[in-house]
Structure 1
Amino acid sequence: MYGDSTANTPNLDKLASESMIFTHAYTTVGVCAPSRSSIITGMYPISIGTQNMRTGKDYVGWGMRKYGAPSNATDLEGNHVPLYSAVIPPYVKCFTQYLRKAGYYCTNNFKTDYQFAAPVTAWDANSRTASWKNRKPGQPFFAVFNDMVTHESRIWMNADLEQTVNPQAVAVPSFFPDNEIVRTDMARNYSNIELLDKHIGKKLEELKKAGLLDKTVIFFFSDHGGPLPKEKREYTEDGLHVPFMVRFPHGKGAGYVNDMISFVDIAPTILSLAGTPIPDYMQGQAFLGDQKAKTPRKYIFGSADRFDEIADRCRSVSDGRFYLVKNFHPELPAYKDLAYRKNIPMMRELLRERDNGELNADQMYWFRKHKTPEELYDTKTDPHCIHNLIDDPQYAAKIEELRPVLLKWIKESHDLGAMPEAQMVESMWPDFVQPVTLSPRVNMENGKVSITCQTKGASLAYILSDEEIQPNLNSDWLLYSQPIEKPKHKYLYALATRIGYRDSKVLEVKANKMKVDTLDAMKPIQ
């Protein structure tokens, strides 16, 4: 659907023939976790403190909300970056919380990677078994499936699998040397795409058999640009430009769409399609549905800060053709020598050829030891952004157009990248200690149960049960949004959660001992 037939993708081709195919869709950061924070919040990472890759990692399971930034990570001032979960503004929620409030059954299978642990209020189920199939009969659903088969790590992890694409069939771009190692890794990536196609086919068949295919809106996209070196983590075309398709029932509106869309637009768009009001704080704009923006966006913005153990700060703006980049630290090299990326055989080969003087000028551009304060690229003539036009006088007018746009975005976004990361973390976690959400209070008045919490920005969840249980931190919690009728169940469990904070203790309430004004026999069980 985008002009590359190297991989055989019959299921995606069929989906594309019935979908709106967006030709100018962009993530906000060319790497997964900051990008995914944009998807789930509708906010730019630089505005909510999720711009650094990575802050931590959350694990599924009771009592296992742990975080792990690389142990040798430092910020731009050389300060050690501790383990942390980003504390985002109190008014910012996972957009699925609004869908749940509207009655949707929301599931995620299974990756979150938002730079903070997914709150229990975000999903009805968040696990490897989460599916729309478990909803109540007739309940509308919003289900996310994350397929990892095309992840960067599968270039080496899938190396022993059958390679369905012939290495000699791939087209090697000019910024890579043409050799067996490069071709093999590129063919592995195409082979992974063929595996992905089979997985997508199964998901579509499940919807079809359930009679839901033409009652469902389907989004298909990647969470950043390509997984190969000089693609992932870049802040121009190769890192930000993504495939993006939307299928409406019966293929309504199918065809190519040239409007620019950004990942900050996904959350408001889905809320628009669901008929749910879009919160004013969201920085994106709906591109579909009843709340669709009156005018398409004119520019898209990207950022790059710390990637694993190496920090930098770059910002970019594009009008869909030209990229203008502002480098806050031009003295730093363009190439980031990340340990993780060197698991890819072709990355090690690129470094070997670099050190032996075997790369040409195009291939060496990525390895430049210093950057210019600004960069300009024309993706029409230079799709991989390896020819910097910033000093070419014929592009002066384009630079003068894009420069104030970029500076305005940086200012209006309250770019947290200007603050050393360690300082930002301390502002989120005073003395580098994670703040804790206060315990909820459970009360009854006029026959209805209310749950409250004094922590600003906290969301509330509860479980009703006839048996004493040990609640799971990832599934089965109901979102509390308004007082509930006095339960007939024996137990009520209540939890308060604030993104970036440690969850409150879970309160176990013996619901059959309710009194007029309060629920007694409450005890923490976490």
Structure 2
Amino acid sequence: MKYVLSLIGLFVLIISCNSNKSSTSSFGSAQDSDGGQPNILWIVCEDISPILSFYGDNTAKTPVLDKLASESVVYDKAFSVVGVCGPSRSAIITGMYPTSIGTMHMRTAQDVMNWGKRTYKKDVGRQDVQGNDIIQYASVIPDYVKAFPEYLRTEGYFTSNNEKTDYQFASPVTVWDENGKKAHWRNRKKGQPFFSVFNFGVTHESRIWKNADLPLTVSPDDVPVPPYFQDTETSRTDLARLYSNVELLDKEVGDLLQKLKDDGLYDNTIIFFYSDHGGPMPRQKREIYDSGLHVPFMVKDLRGTKGRSDQIVSFVDLAPTVLSLAGVEIPEHIQGKAFLGVQNDEKRNYAFGTSDRFDEFTDRSRAVYNDQFLYIQNDFPEKMWYKDVGYRKQVPMMEELLRFRETCAERSRSGCNLTPTQQEWFTDKPKAELYDYVNDPHNLINLIDNPKYTAVQKELRSRLLKFRDEYIDYGMMPEAQFINQIWPDFEQPVTAEIEINTESENASAEVVRLSSSTKGASIGYIISDTVMDELDLNSGWHVYHKPLEVKKGQYLYAMAQRIGFRESEIFKTQL
């Protein structure tokens, strides 16, 4: 197989919102907003599985989310593509599988918030699967792939992101009208439709220890303890912190929705709520199991459609679904399929998951879901299930679990504090795994050798092999080799400078055409009546998609960037 930045084939995934309890065939179409484009709001939290009351877990009190769920379609089978934020968010923002665009490793650099740091260290102390040293880098995705809000902007939408990006590449200025802590739909032009994203970090893995001094609103005595956790005071305290953080999330979401209501927009906005992947705890985050990929997900439309859906939804479907709802044509290269709106497609039968490098721990697994079973292929069965990632060791229960593991290794079975289920996480993986995730949601009973499930195993193995054949998988390439391919000699490529062509429109204006010779580059621009000594790289830039009319005497600022490249120098001129 040749590893080149191109897409091999077009893998057709068909999806719709055929619900067992709700009808959504015309869900939130572009005609729902007084004959115009609908407003769309994403409420995104971090690191929680479906541990909310509308999924049957009443541990945390979440009246705001419960009320929203009662007005929404709740999806019971929604899955992230990867069990960690960066690769997952790259799939969301592009509609593409991370392995097919080179964003599968967590994490490539520190372009996590708004514009991004855009600095890349050469010495990071990490290696690829062959032991080669790697550097920090921004993933260079195929030249025909864009962050999808750019398509919305060219059709008149105001787009805002508050404030996490974390796409495995720095966000170009063309993606968001506003991108930062102050980004808000309230800053759009009057009557302009908006697509606004609000990211809430209160449930992130790090808040297990960072919020340790806050009062627990959920008692450690009241939390359910999954069988793969040790039932100790430490575990219960960490789980109580997680559920308490969920209650804080509920209040923060309530504040945001109140602003929407205060603005008279609540009934005129399609609202999505979801987590960027599964839970934050050991054997949850970074895992390719239900605990890492299964997410809470609901959508409130403009017509009052509500109920539950067992439709399989993958995160690659979010981008095309928003475009469909907005009445914007879905580009052919997008691998996900719309499940709502005017371009909704047929039912999805499978969802796929991937697992590659996580910080300093390198592995590779691939997975496929159908409506009941999860099948996993482990390319390195000699590696244990447990991923020895330093960051996760700040979770107290993880630290305790590792201490117990050492004790179990030193003592006889009678002196071990871990059950066989808990110890198994620290053993080598099998080559393949099969779980009935509906009846075994913790994925504890591997059915791979059970002859009763031979047909299921054959079906899912075949489907996963087809997935791996039809899409190029950059995870198969040693990461150092991949980096050298997209960053020749391990140096970031630079987007070519802006080229400008002008012609007089009339005595008072010029027609301006902008271009860059870098294939796939997007161009952002600002027109100002006065000189701008400082330019805010998180807001104020427009997407160039047709010739501009610039009044004589006005100032034009323009910048080009292909995703993963360093941006061009800012072009400045007075017409």
- Do they fold alike, i.e. is TM over 0.5? yes
Contact 1:214 1:249 in 2 (8 A): yes
Change beyond 3 A, Cα 1:115–1:411: same
- What secondary structure is seen at the aligned counterpart in 1 of 2:161? strand
Tell me, in whole angstroms, the C-alpha distance in 1 between the residues paired with 2:114 and 2:256.
26
Contact 2:115 2:171 in 1 (8 A): no
Contact 1:464 1:487 in 2 (8 A): no
Tell me, in whole angstroms, the C-alpha distance in 1 between the residues paired with 2:216 and 2:123.
32
- What secondary structure is seen at the aligned counterpart in 2 of 1:245? strand
The alpha carbon displacement at 1:214 in A equals 0.6
**Could you say what the CA RMSD is over the residues aligned between the two structures, in angstroms?**
1.4
1:275 aligns with 2:327: yes
Q: Which residue of 2 aligns with 1:477?
A: 541
Q: Which residue of 1 aligns with 2:163?
A: 110
The alpha carbon displacement at 1:334 in A equals 1.1
The alpha carbon displacement at 1:323 in A equals 1.0
- What secondary structure is seen at the aligned counterpart in 2 of 1:349? helix
Q: Which residue of 2 aligns with 1:137?
A: 190
Query: 1:310-336 CA distances to partner (integer Å, 9 max, x unpaired)?
Result: 100100001132111111111111111
Tell me, in whole angstroms, the C-alpha distance in 1 between the residues paired with 2:541 and 2:373.
46
Tell me, in whole angstroms, the C-alpha distance in 1 between the residues paired with 2:123 and 2:393.
15
- What secondary structure is seen at the aligned counterpart in 1 of 2:76? strand
Q: Which residue of 2 aligns with 1:521?
A: none
Q: Which residue of 2 aligns with 1:502?
A: 566
Contact 1:56 1:69 in 2 (8 A): no
The alpha carbon displacement at 1:255 in A equals 0.6
- 4+ residue runs over 4 A deviation: 59-64
Tell me, in whole angstroms, the C-alpha distance in 1 between the residues paired with 2:270 and 2:238.
34
Q: Which residue of 1 aligns with 2:128?
A: 75
1:241 aligns with 2:299: no
The alpha carbon displacement at 1:445 in A equals 2.8
Tell me, in whole angstroms, the C-alpha distance in 2 between the residues paired with 1:301 and 1:416.
15
Change beyond 3 A, Cα 1:237–1:489: farther
Q: Which residue of 2 aligns with 1:162?
A: 215
The alpha carbon displacement at 1:490 in A equals 2.3
Contact 2:103 2:168 in 1 (8 A): yes
- What secondary structure is seen at the aligned counterpart in 1 of 2:458? helix
Change beyond 3 A, Cα 1:118–1:489: farther
Range with bigger deviation, 302-311 or 327-336: 327-336
Tell me, in whole angstroms, the C-alpha distance in 2 between the residues paired with 1:39 and 1:134.
24
Contact 1:70 1:308 in 2 (8 A): no
- What secondary structure is seen at the aligned counterpart in 1 of 2:55? coil
Contact 2:384 2:426 in 1 (8 A): yes
Q: Which residue of 2 aligns with 1:462?
A: 525
Contact 2:97 2:335 in 1 (8 A): yes
Amino acid corresponding to residue 509 of structure 1 in structure 2: T
Out of 63, 66, 86, which is 2:139 matched to?
A: 86
Matches within 5 A, 1:165-244: 165-244=218-297
Range with bigger deviation, 214-223 or 446-455: 446-455
The alpha carbon displacement at 1:387 in A equals 2.0
Amino acid corresponding to residue 455 of structure 1 in structure 2: T
Tell me, in whole angstroms, the C-alpha distance in 1 between the residues paired with 2:75 and 2:543.
34
The alpha carbon displacement at 1:151 in A equals 0.3
Out of 465, 486, 490, which is 1:407 matched to?
A: 465
Contact 2:212 2:241 in 1 (8 A): yes
Q: What percent identity do the matched residue pairs reach?
A: 54
Tell me, in whole angstroms, the C-alpha distance in 1 between the residues paired with 2:87 and 2:381.
22
Amino acid corresponding to residue 493 of structure 1 in structure 2: Y
Out of 320, 328, 353, which is 2:404 matched to?
A: 353
Q: Which residue of 2 aligns with 1:381?
A: 439
Q: Which residue of 2 aligns with 1:316?
A: 367
Change beyond 3 A, Cα 1:259–1:153: same
Query: 1:59-85 CA distances to partner (integer Å, 9 max, x unpaired)?
Result: 668894224698222110001110100
Out of 44, 49, 63, which is 2:102 matched to?
A: 49
The alpha carbon displacement at 1:380 in A equals 2.8
Unaligned stretches of 5+ residues in structure 1? 512-526
Contact 2:114 2:171 in 1 (8 A): no
Q: Which residue of 1 aligns with 2:412?
A: none
Out of 381, 390, 410, which is 1:339 matched to?
A: 390
The alpha carbon displacement at 1:391 in A equals 1.4
Tell me, in whole angstroms, the C-alpha distance in 2 between the residues paired with 1:456 and 1:284.
24
- What secondary structure is seen at the aligned counterpart in 1 of 2:146? coil
Q: Which residue of 2 aligns with 1:40?
A: 93
Tell me, in whole angstroms, the C-alpha distance in 2 between the residues paired with 1:382 and 1:21.
21
Amino acid corresponding to residue 4 of structure 1 in structure 2: D
Tell me, in whole angstroms, the C-alpha distance in 2 between the residues paired with 1:223 and 1:70.
29
Q: Which residue of 1 aligns with 2:343?
A: 291
Range with bigger deviation, 104-113 or 171-180: 171-180
The alpha carbon displacement at 1:464 in A equals 0.8
1:363 aligns with 2:422: yes
Q: Which residue of 2 aligns with 1:514?
A: none
Change beyond 3 A, Cα 1:487–1:411: farther
Tell me, in whole angstroms, the C-alpha distance in 2 between the residues paired with 1:178 and 1:488.
72
Range with bigger deviation, 54-63 or 75-84: 54-63
Tell me, in whole angstroms, the C-alpha distance in 2 between the residues paired with 1:228 and 1:145.
23
- What secondary structure is seen at the aligned counterpart in 2 of 1:66? coil
Tell me, in whole angstroms, the C-alpha distance in 1 between the residues paired with 2:180 and 2:555.
24
Contact 1:333 1:367 in 2 (8 A): yes
Q: Which residue of 1 aligns with 2:202?
A: 149
Amino acid corresponding to residue 426 of structure 2 in structure 1: F
1:120 aligns with 2:176: no
1:330 aligns with 2:377: no
Query: 1:173-204 CA distances to partner (integer Å, 9 max, x unpaired)?
Result: 11111110000000000000000000000111
Q: Which residue of 1 aligns with 2:310?
A: 258
Contact 1:86 1:499 in 2 (8 A): yes
Contact 1:150 1:196 in 2 (8 A): yes
Q: Which residue of 2 aligns with 1:424?
A: 482
Q: Which residue of 1 aligns with 2:48?
A: none
Tell me, in whole angstroms, the C-alpha distance in 2 between the residues paired with 1:17 and 1:31.
28
The alpha carbon displacement at 1:474 in A equals 1.7
Contact 2:524 2:544 in 1 (8 A): yes
Out of 499, 515, 533, which is 1:452 matched to?
A: 515
Contact 1:174 1:363 in 2 (8 A): yes
Contact 1:299 1:319 in 2 (8 A): yes
- What secondary structure is seen at the aligned counterpart in 1 of 2:425? helix
Tell me, in whole angstroms, the C-alpha distance in 1 between the residues paired with 2:56 and 2:320.
29
Q: Which residue of 1 aligns with 2:449?
A: 391
Tell me, in whole angstroms, the C-alpha distance in 1 between the residues paired with 2:114 and 2:453.
54
Tell me, in whole angstroms, the C-alpha distance in 2 between the residues paired with 1:466 and 1:404.
61
Tell me, in whole angstroms, the C-alpha distance in 1 between the residues paired with 2:350 and 2:121.
34
Tell me, in whole angstroms, the C-alpha distance in 2 between the residues paired with 1:143 and 1:51.
26
Tell me, in whole angstroms, the C-alpha distance in 1 between the residues paired with 2:565 and 2:295.
32
The alpha carbon displacement at 1:34 in A equals 0.1
Contact 2:112 2:167 in 1 (8 A): no
Give the paired residue count.
508
Query: 1:65-122 CA distances to partner (integer Å, 9 max, x unpaired)?
Result: 2246982221100011101000000000000000000100000000000000001010
Contact 1:58 1:67 in 2 (8 A): no
Contact 2:355 2:366 in 1 (8 A): yes
Q: State the TM-score, normalized to the length of structure 1.
A: 0.95
